[in-house]
Amino acid sequence: MRHLLDTRNLDRATALRILDIAEDMADTQSREVKKLPTLRGKTVVNLFFEDSTRTRISFEAAAKRLSADVINFAAKGSSVSKGESLKDTAQTLEAIGADAVVIRHPASGAPQTLATSGWISAGVVNAGDGTHEHPTQALLDAFTIRKRRFGADSRGRDLAGLHVVIVGDVLHSRVARSNVWLLATLGADVTLVAPPTLVPQNVSLWPARVVYDLDEALEQSPDAVMMLRIQLERMNAAYFPTEREYSRRWGLDALRVAALPEGSIVMHPGPMNRGLEISSEAADSPRSTVLEQVTNGVSIRMAVLYLLLAGERDDERGGDL
């Protein structure tokens, strides 16, 4: 795998391979010695143009568990008038000898620009670009759903027949986009729930159903309910009138969570707005996978870094494995 930029273009075989290797990585994390020598001598740079301690330390942990060297580069948001350009930053990393660049950037498409520019020879992992994609999040979410459903028998399995409901600001959510593509690739059935103002105009072509009413969606007995973080700044652009109204109509409160079928899980990519999109009852219930998602995130990121860095390098254009 030369780069991991999105799940839109991630084929089923590669996706399953990542999930299965993550199983192996997860197994090593329960050993006496969690560290593996696999990526010793490789340098992974975390190039974060947006603040994100959680994702950054997850990638850092993943790289270190594989004995790679980690360099953290917290760059200013790129704008023409201040801060170094993406091109100059990238070329500096190339000069340092980065083998992989994990990039989080506020501009959609920045990882793709970086990967196709010819500025660097390192592999690129998209850790979240604007409102476009967050592929490792979707992969760890799929891993979590699979693990909860199939346990020790997860290897090799896809998510065919499982129904996932994703609730929240779909319009601005890279987590939603990445999940829609990956879940569909893995055979799951996806329903998106949001106020009409937070659904993209042309979502009818996506492999997902759109429903405005949360209760209607939950009546379909989903296997997983994924709550997305709502950004309060959206209130100022009139996407919804008040927090209270949002929470009442689209929040996973105690009543709704109690009505979920046995075995349904509640997911959230974090950080949570407790009491807004997700109640404490939901977040703290045994159904909640919030903490496992974090652990699984490290395993998934270990698998991704392994696939990017362990084997022989593909030439220039490189595609998949």
Partner 1 sequence: MSTRTVLQEADIARALTRIAHEILESNRGSEDLVLLGIPTRGVTLAHRLAALIGGIAQTQTPVGSLDITLFRDDLSKHPTRSPHPTDIPAGGIDGKTVVLVDDVLFSGRSIRAALDAIQSIGRPAVVRLAILVDRGHRELPIRPDFIGKNIPSARTERVNVRLHENDGAEEVTIGA
Partner 2 sequence: MSETLVITGAQLIGAKSADIVVENGVISEIGTGLGRAGARVIDADGLVALPGLVDLHTHLREPGYEASETILTGTKAAAAGGFTAVFAMPNTSPVADTAGVVEQELALGEAAGYATVQPIGAVTLGQKGERLAELGAMATSRAKVRVFSDDGFCVFDPLIMRRALEYVKSFDGVIAQHAQDPRLTEGAQMNEGTVSAELGLAGWPAVAEESIIARDVLLAEHVGSRLHVCHLSTAGSVDIIRWAKKRGIAVTAEVTPHHLLLTDELVRGYDARFKVNPPLRRQEDVLAVREGLADGTIDIVATDHAPHPSENKACEWQAAANGMVGLESALRVVHQSMVQTGLLGWADIARVMSATPARIGRLSGHGAPLEVGSPAHITLYDPSVEGVFGESDLHGRSVNSPYLGRALPGRVEHTVHAGVVTVAGGAVVQELDA
Residues lying near partner 1 in the complex (CB under 8 A) are found at: 1, 17, 20-21, 23-24, 27-28, 31-38, 66, 155, 306-307, 310-313, 321
Residue 282 binds which one of partner 2, partner 1, none, with CB within 5 to 8 A depending on kind?
none
* Residue 80: partners with Cβ closer than 8 Å, 6 or more residues away: none
Q: Quote the CA–CA distance of 172 and 170 in Å, as a whole number.
A: 6
The window from 160-168, 198-206, 211-219, 224-232 that contacts partner 2 (CB under 8 A) reads 198-206
Residue 115 binds which one of partner 1, partner 2, none, with CB within 5 to 8 A depending on kind?
none
Decide: 43 and 98 in contact? Cβ < 8 Å: yes
Local structure of residue 129 (DSSP, 8 states): E
Q: Which of 40, 116, 254, 271 binds partner 2 (CB under 8 A)?
A: 116
Q: Which is nearer to partner 1, 151 or 286 (CB)?
A: 151
Residue 16 binds which one of partner 2, partner 1, none, with CB within 5 to 8 A depending on kind?
none
Q: Which is nearer to partner 2, 89 or 288 (CB)?
A: 89
Under the phi-then-psi rule, with left for phi > 0, alpha for psi from -120 to 50, and beta for the rest, what region is 118?
A: left
Smallest gap from Cβ 141 to partner 1, in A, equals 22
Q: Which of 70, 109, 158, 210 binds partner 2 (CB under 8 A)?
A: 109
Residue 85 binds which one of partner 1, partner 2, none, with CB within 5 to 8 A depending on kind?
partner 2
Task: State yes or no: residue 236 binds partner 2 (CB under 8 A).
Answer: no
- The amino acid that residue 226 corresponds to is M
In terms of DSSP H, where are the helices of the chain?
12-28, 53-65, 86-96, 110-116, 135-150, 174-185, 214-218, 243-250, 254-258, 280-284, 290-309
Question: What is each CA distance from 235 to 73, 166, 212, 247, in whole angstroms?
Answer: 32, 20, 18, 13
Dihedral sign (CA 258, 259, 265, 270) = negative
The window from 25-33, 56-64, 79-87, 264-272 that contacts partner 2 (CB under 8 A) reads 79-87
Q: Quote the CA–CA distance of 74 and 66 in Å, as a whole number.
A: 22
Residue 92 binds which one of partner 2, partner 1, none, with CB within 5 to 8 A depending on kind?
none
Task: State yes or no: residue 110 binds partner 2 (CB under 8 A).
Answer: yes
Smallest gap from Cβ 221 to partner 1, in A, equals 33
The window from 12-20, 125-133, 146-154, 254-262 that contacts partner 2 (CB under 8 A) reads 125-133
The torsion angles phi and psi of 294, rounded to 5 degrees, stand at -65, -45
At 54, list the tokens: 């959680």
Task: State yes or no: residue 301 binds partner 2 (CB under 8 A).
Answer: no
Smallest gap from Cβ 261 to partner 2, in A, equals 31
SS3 of residue 189 by DSSP: strand
Q: Kindly report whether the peptide bond that precedes residue 271 is cis, defined as omega within 30 degrees of 0.
A: yes
The torsion angles phi and psi of 287, rounded to 5 degrees, stand at -70, -20
Smallest gap from Cβ 220 to partner 2, in A, equals 24
By CB under 8 A, name the binding residues for partner 2: 8, 78-80, 85-87, 105-110, 112-113, 116-117, 129-133, 174, 177, 200-203, 205-206
